[in-house]
Amino acid sequence: MKLSLIVAMSRNGVIGLDNRLPWHLSEDLKYFKSVTMGKPIIMGRKTFDSIGRPLPGRCNIVITRNPDWIEPGVKIAQTIDQAMLLGQQACEESGGEEVMVIGGEQIYRIALTVADRIYLTEVDADIKGDAFFPEFDRSAWSQVKVEHPEGTDSPVYRFLVLERI
């Protein structure tokens, strides 16, 4: 099983503002859907709240410290290890091989230490925000794919796939 992170990040590391994405990039949303569809997705409760519902076509796993938190259509974990185990079980049931971490900041910080792959949308702008992707050593990662999407979205951005060396 591979553990992968998928994130859109500005030049200055911003991934969110007021529990929302600080931009609307339609091609990035399509990319997110295509990469995560059919795979288990792990997220923190605040990220789930910002989405507002389970994402269809995916096993939704939410990490929360609140043992009383319940949401229909969602598997609940209290730690990243529990979430990864639920993701692995979902992969075994579906025949899949990849579990996706979709945020937020605290979950990325923990998962980055054990991730195998990062699907990174680099947004070519400095953006105001209050949630950041953790700094990481790019020399520990190999860029295996880069794609410049066509379209009229602004700011300019590109898709990268990084794999741990």
- Domains annotated for the chain, with CATH where assigned, are 2-164 (3.40.430.10)
Number of neighbours of residue 73 by Cβ within 10 angstroms: 10
- Residue 154: pLDDT band by 50, 70, 90 thresholds? confident
97/88 Cα distance (integer angstroms) = 8
Lowest mean pLDDT among 26-35, 54-63, 142-151: 142-151
- Whether omega for the bond prior to residue 73 falls within 30 degrees of 0, making it cis, is no
What CA–CA distance (Å, rounded) separates 56 from 45? 17
Average pLDDT, the chain: 96
* Cα–Cα distance for residue pair 133/92, rounded to 1 Å: 29
pLDDT at residue 153 tops 80: no
Q: Output the six-digit token pair for 25.
A: 């990039």
Task: Please say whether the beta carbons of 111 and 44 come within 8 A.
Answer: no
pLDDT number for residue 150: 80
